[in-house]
Amino acid sequence: METNFEARFEEKLAKNDVIEPKDWMPENYRKHLIRQISQHAHSEVVGMLPEGNWITRAPSLRAKLVLLAKVQDEGGHGLYLYTAAESLGISRDELLDALHTGKAKYSSIFNYPTLTWADIGAIGWLVDGAAIMNQVMLQRTSYGPYARAMVRICKEESFHQRQGYEVMTKLAFGTPEQKEMAQDALNRWWFPTLMMFGPPDAESPNSDNAIKWRIKRESNDQLRQRFVNQTVSQAEYLGLTVPDKNLKWNEAKQGYDFSEPNWAEFKAVIHGNGPCNKDRLEARNKAHNEGEWVRAAAAAYAQKINESIAA
Ligand code: 3HC
């Protein structure tokens, strides 16, 4: 019996059809999706912290409004993604518990501190830029609710990327001190951004299944290479230097050669030992605990509405 279901599942993948929550799916496909989508949701929500840190110190009212809107968008992305994960049969409480107890991963990039306003520019330009590079393909991922969530997320991320590049442009074409601040931010965020794409293909345990099941359509290394190719000319326009002595155009491959990030540092960060891992988890736990009354009030209100409908 299962063989028939499996054949139908394979047939759908081969035809580029999407898999929906009520369709039969192999247990490992379901688990793989819960892992990836929930990590993605946690990344959006934890990603609000380093940027939220600058809302009160944004240099103008306009910059403050734009940053507020951006941070709010990230919270929304988390919600769409948690909902997509829930459609695979896991509860929001289980997902949040895994984040709060440190069991679940979230993007390594959000364990680095935002020391200056230029870091907000670098996050938008580089981090959101890398996120889009990775997420455009996810609009065509094989699981319907994830693919649909990604359409809106990509549109918003592309606005975030422009917001960051605008901040960098103002600083890079500003006073010498502002330009230095922009260069310093690029120096600190370049390699952590390259790590966002995940380990090299040869060391990526999940990639084979992800590609086979059309969850990912391109590999970690392919996307990293494309990001470098696209970003170098943007840095050149700003008059900033990418902090990599080995960066060199390679005519034969029609792309840049570049240095590998420090993979030992990456492993430390994803296992809880980055510069801000402890702060991030404490902040998320505090926000969750302090929001208990909001959840209780929303549940009581929902119950009242249900009772009045039933009456
Ligand atoms: N940070 C933390 N963990 C990472 C990571 C990173 N940058 N890159 C890889 N890992 C983890 C994986 O989760 C996996 O751990 P697990 O097996 O315990 O789950 C392990 O390292 C090995 O990596 P793989 O390459 O085998 O894992 P994947 O095939 O899942 O590839 C990925 C990793 C490219 C991040 C992929 O999961 C993915 O495309 N995820 C969806 C996009 C996403 O999560 N983006 C987060 C970016 S931040 C963001 O979007 C917020 C925005 O506002 C900027």
pLDDT at 95: 98
CA distances 113 to 47, 116, 238, 246, 275, Å, are 11, 9, 23, 26, 7
What is the pLDDT of the chain when averaged over all its residues?
96
- Of the pLDDT bands very low, low, confident and very high (cuts 50, 70, 90), residue 296 is very high
Ligand 1 pocket, residue 40 CB under 6 Å: yes
Phi and psi at residue 19, in whole multiples of 5°? -95, 130
Q: How many whole angstroms from its chain centre is CA 61?
A: 27
- From 206, 211, 222, give the residue whose CB has the most ligand 1 atoms within 8 Å, as the site to mutate: 206
Question: Letter for the amino acid at 232?
Answer: V
Q: Has residue 44 got a pLDDT over 80?
A: yes
Distance CA 69, CA 210 (A): 33
Instruction: Kindly give the distance from the C-alpha atom of residue 59 to the centroid of ligand 1, in angstroms, as a whole number.
Output: 33
Section 9-14 average pLDDT: 95
Average pLDDT over residues 150-168: 95
The pick from 38, 43, 160 for probing ligand 1's pocket by mutation, whose C-beta has the most ligand atoms within 8 angstroms, reads 43
From CA 34, how far away is CA 39, in angstroms rounded?
Answer: 8
| CA–CA distance, 250 with 258 (Å, rounded to integer) | 10
69 alpha carbon to ligand 1 midpoint, in Å?
25
Task: Answer whether residue 255 shows pLDDT above 70.
Answer: yes
Averaged pLDDT for residues 235-261: 98
pLDDT given at position 151: 96
pLDDT of 3 reads 75
* 148: pLDDT strictly greater than 60: yes
In angstroms, how far is CA 278 from the centroid of its own chain?
A: 19
pTM of the prediction?
0.96
Q: pLDDT class for 311, splitting at 50, 70, 90?
A: confident
Identify which of 290, 305, 270 has the alpha carbon closest to the alpha carbon of residue 112.
Answer: 270
pLDDT for the residue 1: 54
Per-residue pLDDT band for 2 (boundaries 50, 70, 90) equals low
Cα of 95 vs its chain's centroid, Å: 16
Q: Worst-scoring range by mean pLDDT, 2-11, 33-42, 100-109, 155-164?
A: 2-11
Ligand 1 center from residue 143 Cα (angstroms): 17
pLDDT at 121 over 70: yes
Share of the chain above pLDDT 70, in %: 99
CB of 163 closer than 6 A to ligand 1?
no
- Residue 37: CB atoms within 10 A of its CB come to 28
Vertex 79, ends 111 and 121: CA angle to 5°? 40
Select from 72, 177, 71, 78 the least CA-distant residue to 120: 71
pLDDT at 43: 98
277 lines ligand 1 (CB under 6 A): no
Q: Which whole number is the average pLDDT over 259-263?
A: 98
Given a cut of 70, is residue 291 above it in pLDDT? Answer: yes
Tokens of 248: 């060199």
**How is residue 97 written in tokens?**
């518990």
